[in-house]
Amino acid sequence: MHARPLRVRRLGRLEYGEALRLQKETELSVRERREPDTLLLVEHPHVLTVGRRATRELILAGPEQLAARGVAVYETNRGGKMTYHGLGQVVGYPVINLSPDREDVHKYVRDLEEALIRAMLDFSVEAFRVPGLTGVHTAAGKVAAIGVHIARWVTTHGFALNVNTDLDYFKLIVACEGEPVASLKGILGRELQLREVEDRVVARFAEVFGATPVEGAELWEEAGV
């Protein structure tokens, strides 16, 4: 089967609300097939996001403490509960059309996990699934959270991978199912370049989803999109 093109957009450090706006724009373009499947990669300033299965009671800090630490709060339509995004994370928002050949929500989430597990192995980090939980785990704790939204088989939201993340910020919330969290920096004992981690995530995502990643405006010209 011919590999579908995957447009990769590296957004750098971007405020959560602006990234959400870009997701919605991209979602419409992908649904109308004006643009190909797209993977948005971003690093957010400190923010807590409230998923559909969460309430604000899962935020353990008061408004004053959050303000003092520069932490914003957003309610979202993604699945899952409460999570934190912040500096030192690689956050990925795949906006892809699962129709007609990938119309399986469960498989989509498992494939996201698989892509991240393979990317972790590229750094000699053994990662795995935990039955009954969503996300990617290591012996040291959960290293990646996953929460998605799918409308008319087009995906939004995605995953957050702790690379050089200050895990203290997770103490502000009851994260996901309350599991311990970990970072690649903590596991490996050194900081990593986010670009290097993004490269491996892109490669493994493309591998799992049978796509050809392309960056830049030449994508839709070459692909005829």
Give tens-digit pLDDT for 189-208: 999 999 999 999 999 999 99
In a domain, 222, yes or no: no
In a domain, 225, yes or no: no
Q: How confident is the model at residue 124 (pLDDT cuts 50, 70, 90)?
A: very high
| pLDDT reading at 218 higher than 70 | no
Active site residue 176: yes
User: So what's the pLDDT on residue 1?
Assistant: 53
In a domain, 203, yes or no: yes
User: So what's the pLDDT on residue 80?
Assistant: 80
| pLDDT reading at 57 higher than 50 | yes
In a domain, 62, yes or no: yes
More confident residue, 176 or 156: 156
The CATH code of the domain that includes 16 is 3.30.930.10
Please compute the mean of the pLDDT values over residues 158-182 and round it to a whole number: 90
* 17-32 per-position pLDDT tens digit: 999 999 999 999 999 9
Catalytic: which of 176, 181, 182, 202? 176
Structural domain boundaries, residue 44: 4-212
* 69-106 per-position pLDDT tens digit: 999 999 888 878 888 999 999 999 999 999 999 999 99
In a domain, 224, yes or no: no
**Average pLDDT of every residue of the chain:** 92
In a domain, 220, yes or no: no
User: So what's the pLDDT on residue 177?
Assistant: 66
More confident residue, 52 or 143: 143
In a domain, 204, yes or no: yes
The three state secondary structure string of the chain is CCCEEEEEEEEEECCHHHHHHHHHHHHHHHHCCCCCEEEEEEECCCEEEECCCCCHHHECCCHHHHHHCCCEEEECCCCCCEEEECCCEEEEEEECECCCCCCCHHHHHHHHHHHHHHHHHCCCCCCECCCCCCCEEECCEEEEEEEEEEECCEEEEEEEEECCCCHHHHHHECCCCCCCECCHHHHHCCCCCHHHHHHHHHHHHHHHHCEEEECCCHHHHHHCC
Total domains present in the chain: 1
In a domain, 66, yes or no: yes
